[in-house]
Amino acid sequence: MHVMIVPTMGCPANCSYCWNSETVSHVMTNECMDEIVEWLKDFKQEPVTFTFHGGEPLLAGYDFYEHALDKLSTHLSHLYPAYAIQTNLWLMDEKLAKLFKKYEIPVGSSLDGPKELNDKQRGIGYYDKTLEGYRIARKHGLNVSFISTFTNYSIKHKEEIFEFFKENSLNLKIHPALPSIKDDNGDEFALDPKDYGELMLYLLDEYLDLADQIELKNLDHLCKAVFMKKGFVCTYVDCMDSTFAIGPEGKIYPCYRFVDMPEYEIGHVKDKPTYEQLMNTKAEKLLQEYKEFVDEDCRDCKHIDYCRGGCPYNALAVSDNKVKNVDPHCEAYKMIFDKIDELMNQKLGFAFEELDDTVEKDFNFTLNVGFENMPKEGKKFTVMDIALK
């Protein structure tokens, strides 16, 4: 189970395309945190990952995290809690970094590329503040990776952006800028699905040379997904059965993207709703309807098992909250899944030819799972290397 805790929707930054921040917002209290713990004690008996998200989660401050991490770890130890945080790092300091290190919390941050380009999209001064937070986090041994949000502006600079992350050895994950359900904020920046697909193909080509120098999380996940025939991140699984988000006041939603939208509220932690009660709400029934729609609409797509129609939020954002279409990035997903599938089949073909030869020559063969002996066609790595990372 994945529980996203959104301690506040407030944020000191003002990224041009952001749909998930407010200038002023309530900050979660310790009492609310205690209610979360009480609710989850008997909710579902399965391992849980807590992600602190926002808005800007570090606005909640040191005392909040000291209390929250202690409570979650001691009172929910039977759920084997793991943690993550997604933050712009502006408010990272020595004390917080030490605390996060104590719990080995992986940190996701956000940076769109080199200073000038980043600050054009995310506001003047953003780059310097985030890099200072990054320096402190790394000094304390925290593992940090970045989301780079590609807009219809920054896509024109994809080579420069990738070079920046590569040169600075910063691990990254790509976000295509999306329109919002809440307002028109993201619309003018939204990345065209075809451009997103081409970006992923470009990155795959680069990554096959550089997989030992940089981590490109989307591609790690996608190669593994095609190989294992199942999705590994929320976009490509039926997230509705296993993901919940809790807003600053204790209201429960299906995902952080829906926080503060009354029509997507499915309960409140103080009422300790059961799983069945949450699933019986209007919002969860809408997501269930999405799942059934995908079963039908994507039935003939060879990628359905590890795509599952993409993200329901993305789909609902372009259809006025009605289940009428799959994730509009379907075109991009097909482009990258087709390519990985093709390369993987080629490699498996080579592997089996090689296996046949080996069987003929020697019955004491072993299948080399790393596929090191296969032709690399000028590339240092294969999609199998990435899938098996």
Ligand X SMILES: C[S@@+](CC[C@H](N)C(=O)[O-])C[C@H]1O[C@@H](n2cnc3c(N)ncnc32)[C@H](O)[C@@H]1O
In sequence order, what are the residues at sequence separation of 6 or more whose Cβ sits closer than 8 angstroms to the Cβ of residue 306?
225, 226, 228, 229, 230, 231, 236, 337
Q: Which does 310 bind (CB under 5 to 8 A by kind): ligand X, ligand SF4, none?
A: ligand SF4
CA pair distance 293, 88, nearest whole angstrom: 36
Of 53 and 224, CB closest to ligand X? 53
In sequence order, what are the residues at sequence separation of 6 or more whose Cβ sits closer than 8 angstroms to the Cβ of residue 256?
4, 6, 20, 51, 53, 54, 245
Q: Which does 143 bind (CB under 5 to 8 A by kind): ligand SF4, ligand X, none?
A: none
Q: Which residue has the tokens 């429960």?
A: 252
Q: Which residue has the tokens 């994730």?
A: 327
DSSP symbols for 250-297: SEEESSGGGTT-GGG--EEGGG---HHHHHTSHHHHHHHHHHHHHHHH
Q: Does 19 bind ligand X (CB under 6 A)?
A: yes
In this chain, which stretch among 6-14, 251-259, 278-286, 379-387 interacts with ligand SF4, using CB under 6 A?
6-14
Of 24 and 369, CB closest to ligand X? 24
3-state secondary structure of 159: helix
Q: Does 25 bind ligand SF4 (CB under 6 A)?
A: no
Numbers of helices and strands, H then E, in the chain: 14, 9
Of 53 and 347, CB closest to ligand X? 53
End-to-end CA distance of the chain: 24
Per-residue contact flags (x/-) with ligand X for residues 98 to 117, judged by CB under 6 A: -----------xx-------
Task: Restricting to residues 298-327, name those near ligand SF4 by CB under 6 A.
Answer: 298, 301, 303-304, 307, 309-310, 326-327
CA pair distance 279, 270, nearest whole angstrom: 17
Near ligand X by CB under 6 A: residue from 8, 51, 88, 218: 88
Partners of 84 in beta bridges: 51
In this chain, which stretch among 52-60, 137-145, 237-245, 267-275 interacts with ligand SF4, using CB under 6 A?
52-60
- Per rule CB under 6 A, count of chain residues that contact ligand X: 21
Q: Does 20 bind ligand SF4 (CB under 6 A)?
A: yes
Of 11 and 79, CB closest to ligand SF4? 11
Residues that bind ligand SF4 (CB under 6 A): 11, 13-15, 18, 20-21, 54-56, 88, 110, 122, 298, 301, 303-304, 307, 309-310, 326-327, 330, 333-334
